[in-house]
Amino acid sequence: MTTIFRLRARVAAIIVAVMLVTAAVMPVAAMAMDVTASTTRPNGFAGQDTYGGKPTRLTWELRLKAGDPGVSALTIELPAGTDLSNSTVAVITLKGLQRTSVKSTTKINGPTMDVTFSQPVEPAANIRVTVERLVLPAAGGTLQITGTATTSAGIVPIPPAPTRLVYKRMTVAEGLIFWLDQQEWVKAWNSVNFLNMFFKPQIIVASIFVEFKGWLVAMALVAVGFPLAIPAGLLLAFAKMSKIAPIRWISSFYINVIRGTPLFLQIYIAFFGLPLVGIQGNKYVLGIIVLALNSSAYLAEIFRAGIQSISRGQFEAASSLGMTYWQAMQNVIVPQTVKRVLPTMTSEFILLYKDTAMLSAVGVFELMMYSKNLSAITGNVTPYVVAAGFYLMVTTPLISYVRTLEERLAVAEGGATPKPKKPSRFKWKPSSVVPDTAIMASSAENEAR
């Protein structure tokens, strides 16, 4: 019996305690006011993130429902370290579609704002407080807005926001852009419309960071696609030289179709046609396959021309020693061909690398796609200029590599003498000007495309 009694006493005590607590909280709980919005304006160069350490705008909205007491003042506390020294505060009320601006005075005290309305705002209405140019703490964190509302029923704590608001520490790029924003020379530079549209420093920095990912994707596409195209191209080349007519026809047909139609069209057929017949695949994989199939046709012609450029005597010599067709190919013809086709092959690699841009049309996120998006967000051409830089970063050394290969080949085949060393800028002699012989085969191939 005693245990039951004790239990009852305990339950009763708990009920009393709950009632007391409820009574203490009652004024708030009784009021139905809530926060319907608490947002900051994204202040990064792209995307939806808010960063600490640089100005942003806070929009905070308190809803007073029918039956709530009127509000005459708000005390809004922001995280410690928030800089409000340059801020301005505007208050409006919204009743349905009707907006009314509210006269108010604001006292700023560190991260705390005391906003006093000239006359209380009566329900039902939303009070929207907009704080311009506030700087959240640089370290980043969660933005929790606390404080109190002075109502006709007394001072009550303001309710929490419906969503958690996170602001971040600035990345290197963000920091750099913010720094550039404040530089006088940048402002002067950007005051020239052309420079501002094509070479805006802040967007250059942003583009480099954003487009780098796209550049990696473009590189990956071609780094996987091109090695796949090489064996396919070799196969097509040998098929085109086959003694068996149907094999020759198939190979020629394939090469002609691929070389005779735009890559853009081939991409569309692959990306829009295959799903219609139920073939779904990863778009990056499909992109690589299309690039490889396209390039294999060009490589096939390069290889075939290379193989056929080897003098007939080489094959005869190998045959006279008893080598079979494939032994001669493998040990005599192909090794010589490799050296000869390397410049044109490298040119083909350059073409393929640039052609990855076309995959942006079908939603592959590569360099072109990133720059297109960034350009759309910023309304500026600079992202494209930076993309050009990313393409050139790869193609320029390769083009000079092609030139070196061609010169070396010309020397090896006894065609030309080695190019004399570049004349020094300061000791320029007209006699040392050498005609440029490096155009040769690759340009012919480029024209063919």
Partner 1 sequence: MTQPIVRIENLHKSFGSLEVLKGVDLEVDKGQVVVILGPSGSGKSTLLRCINRLEDPTGGKIFFEDIEITDPKTNINKVREHIGMVFQSFNLFPHLTARGNVMLAQQKVLGRSKADAARLAAVQMDKVGLGDKVDYFPAQLSGGQQQRVAIARALAMDPHVMLFDEATSALDPELVRGVLDVMKALAKGGMTMIVVTHEMGFARDVADRVVFMDEGVVHEQGTPEEVFDHPKSERTKDFLGHIT
Cα separation, 27 vs 33, whole angstroms: 11
Query: According to CB under 8 A, which one of 196, 319, 378, 395 is a site residue for partner 1?
Result: 319
CB of 344 to partner 1, least distance (A): 18
Judged by CB under 8 A, does residue 96 bind partner 1?
A: no
Judged by CB under 8 A, does residue 163 bind partner 1?
A: no
CB of 441 to partner 1, least distance (A): 18
Site size for partner 1 (CB under 8 A): 20
Token readout for 422 is 């570049």
Nearer to partner 1, 19 or 321 (CB): 321
Judged by CB under 8 A, does residue 311 bind partner 1?
A: yes
Which of 145, 138, 135, 134 lies closest to 87 in space, CA to CA? Answer: 134
Cα separation, 304 vs 310, whole angstroms: 10
Cα separation, 42 vs 45, whole angstroms: 9
Stretch that binds partner 1, among 205-213, 329-337, 372-380, 423-431 (CB under 8 A): 329-337
Stretch that binds partner 1, among 114-122, 186-194, 314-322, 436-444 (CB under 8 A): 314-322
Judged by CB under 8 A, does residue 339 bind partner 1?
A: yes
CA dist 402 → 31, 127, 268, 349, 407 (Å): 78, 68, 31, 11, 9
Judged by CB under 8 A, does residue 19 bind partner 1?
A: no
Judged by CB under 8 A, does residue 149 bind partner 1?
A: no
Query: According to CB under 8 A, which one of 335, 363, 397, 420 is a site residue for partner 1?
Result: 335
Judged by CB under 8 A, does residue 416 bind partner 1?
A: no
Nearer to partner 1, 311 or 437 (CB): 311
Which of 392, 381, 387, 393 lies closest to 199 in space, CA to CA? Answer: 381
Nearer to partner 1, 80 or 412 (CB): 412
Judged by CB under 8 A, does residue 324 bind partner 1?
A: yes
Cα separation, 89 vs 112, whole angstroms: 12
Judged by CB under 8 A, does residue 308 bind partner 1?
A: no
Give yes or no for a contact between 339 and 412, defined as CB atoms under 8 angstroms apart: yes
Which of 59, 133, 134, 135 lies closest to 91 in space, CA to CA? Answer: 59
Query: Contact letters (x/-) for partner 1, 267-306, by CB under 8 A?
Result: ----------------------------------------
Judged by CB under 8 A, does residue 332 bind partner 1?
A: yes
Cα separation, 146 vs 159, whole angstroms: 8
CB of 418 to partner 1, least distance (A): 14
Give yes or no for a contact between 132 and 57, defined as CB atoms under 8 angstroms apart: yes
Q: Tell me, what amino acid is at 263?
A: L
Judged by CB under 8 A, does residue 153 bind partner 1?
A: no
Query: According to CB under 8 A, which one of 47, 260, 278, 322 is a site residue for partner 1?
Result: 322
Judged by CB under 8 A, does residue 152 bind partner 1?
A: no
Interface positions, 386-415, toward partner 1 (CB under 8 A)? 412, 414
Binding site for partner 1 (CB under 8 A): 311, 313-314, 316-324, 327, 331-332, 335-336, 339, 412, 414
